[in-house]
Each structure stands twice: as C-alpha cells, then as structure tokens.
Amino acid sequence: MKDAFGTPQSLLVLGGTSEIGLATARRLVARRTRTVWLAGRPSPALEEAASGLRDMGADVRTVAFDALDPEAHEESLGKIFAEGDIDMVLLAFGILGDQARDEDDPLAAVRVAQTNYTGAVSAGLVCARALQSQGHGSLVVLSSVAGERARRSNFIYGSSKAGLDAFSQGLGDALYGTGVHVMVVRPGFVRSKMTAGLEEAPMATTPEAVAEAIETGLRRRSETVWVPERCGWSCRRCGTRPRQVFRRLPL
C-alpha cells in the first residue's frame, strides 16, 4: 500500500532494463519500496539490474515479459499479481527505432509501433484490470514529448507515443474513482543509452530527473507530468503553430 506521500511498497517495472525505470526503482527503494518485480526479456542485463536493486536491500524478482508477445501478457503478468498487491506499475518499455532507416523498412517501423503502442495497450489493460480488482495502485506510463505533436524528424516513434499517450489518458479517465490512479509522464530528450549518439535536443534531462518527477507526481497524484516541467509550456506553444510553419522548423 502506498503511504501518505504516494510512495509504493511494491513496484512492477515493465521494461526491467529501462534506465528511467531503474532510476525510478532506485529512488523508490531508497524511500519505502521493498518488493520490486523487473519484467523484461531474459538477459544478463536484466539480472544485473535486479542484483543492483538487491544490493540496496529490496526483494527483487525478475519475470520474462516481451512487449511483442501480447498473447503471453495475461499469464506472465497475472502470476505477479497473484503473489500479492502491487502498489505501482511503471510501464517503461519502448524503442526509439531509426527514423531514417525505418522510413525505408516498413517492417522495422511496425516493430516500433508494436512495441511502444500495441504492446503497451495489452500490458496496460492487463495491469489496469489487476489493479482495479485489488482496489488501489498507480499505473505510471512513460510517454514522451515526441507524442505531443509528430515531428518530421521522428514521427514513427512520435506517433507510437501519441497513441500510447491517448490510450493512457483514456484509461485514466476510465479508472477514475476506482482507487486506481493513472499518471502519464512526458519526458523531453533524456540522456540515456536509447538516445546515445543522437544530437542532444534543448532542455535535455536525465533518468534521475525523470525519477524525481515521478516521485513528486505520485505525491501529488498528478495525471500528467512533464520532465522538465517547462517542457510542457514550450510543447503547448509548439502545438499551436500552423502546419506550414511547423514543418519548416528544425525539430
């Protein structure tokens, strides 16, 4: 059960090797969290992440989970909830793809959409139902500012995050009043292995800063969190620019 400051005692990270996911887990374990489930494709990196959190004193378990295999979600995630209440689910998986290459390789582009959007729809619905039947908990979804308005330079990734964002907002409204809280987190450019080698965008942030914003958002029971906060204002400004102007911007 979360405490008065919204800090969970048990956490499930979908995308157990996500840097933002792990930064958040570390932050929450340092406060209250005792039980952590890391769900991801079995790999040495996943086990390494688990042992890092174990060193901090948490009871960590890993579970096999693949966003591209929605048929298995019901079973693999159901097992986790059967072991006890989960106070917070962090939906942290996602891939960036390579826009330039993916435009010429439709199957690769579809994989981005399937991971970021359809995989998340399936996992999100399975978790939402489990949270609703336990009667409490938060579903925190990592969206992106890229989903706010599709840009020429990464509209494949951006469109998948736009779908995820809209889905999560609707899910949050559907679950309003059930005791389950859905929070959409929209980070800007985050310096991590996913963005390694890319040219840094303005207002770049770090996984630790996103983790801090998530903790604050949980305390306030926010529905939308921008990281950094001022990113939200500049995005909203961007969103109102006319198409003819927007497509010429170097974004």
Residue 245 binds other proteins, judged by CB under 8 A: no
Residues 16-45 that bind other proteins (CB under 8 A): 31-32
Closest distance to other proteins from the beta carbon of 2 (Å): 8
Closest distance to other proteins from the beta carbon of 245 (Å): 37
- Residue whose C-alpha is closest to residue 92's, from 136, 26, 180, 4: 26
Return the residue of 191, 219, 223, 224 that touches other proteins, per CB under 8 A: 219
**Are 22 and 13 in contact, with CB atoms under 8 Å apart?**
yes
Residue 1 binds other proteins, judged by CB under 8 A: yes
Radius of gyration of the chain (CA): 17
Could you write out the DSSP letters of every residue in 103-153?
TT-HHHHHHHHIIIIIHHHHHHHHHHHHHHHHT-EEEEEE--GGGTS--GG
Residue 107 binds other proteins, judged by CB under 8 A: no
What's the Cα-to-Cα distance from 143 to each of 8, 52, 70, 197, rounded to whole Å? 21, 25, 19, 21
Closest distance to other proteins from the beta carbon of 206 (Å): 20
Which secondary-structure segment (H or E) carries 31? helix 19-31
Residue 72 binds other proteins, judged by CB under 8 A: no
Closest distance to other proteins from the beta carbon of 3 (Å): 4
Residue 56 binds other proteins, judged by CB under 8 A: no
Which secondary-structure segment (H or E) carries 88? strand 88-91
Look-up of token digits 């790999």: 43
- Which residue number, 134 or 192, has a Cβ lying nearer to other proteins? 134
Q: 210 CB contacts (<8 Å, ≥6 apart)?
A: 20, 23, 24, 142, 185, 187, 190, 227
What's the Cα-to-Cα distance from 233 to each of 84, 161, 229, rounded to whole Å? 40, 19, 8
Closest distance to other proteins from the beta carbon of 236 (Å): 22
Q: How far apart are CA 206 and CA 50, in angstroms?
A: 21
The residue count for binding other proteins (CB under 8 A) is 13
Return the residue of 79, 152, 220, 241 that touches other proteins, per CB under 8 A: 220
Q: Which residue in the list 37, 93, 117, 157 is annotated as catalytic? A: 157
Mark the segment that binds other proteins (CB under 8 A) among 2-10, 124-132, 165-173, 185-193: 2-10
Binding marks (x or -) toward other proteins, 125..154, rule CB under 8 A?
-----------x------------------
Whether residue 176 lies in the annotated active site: no
In 147-200 the beta strands, taken as DSSP E runs, fall at 180-187
Residue 100 binds other proteins, judged by CB under 8 A: no
Q: Which residues bind other proteins (CB under 8 A)?
A: 1-5, 7, 9, 31-32, 85, 136, 219-220
Q: Which residues are catalytic?
A: 157
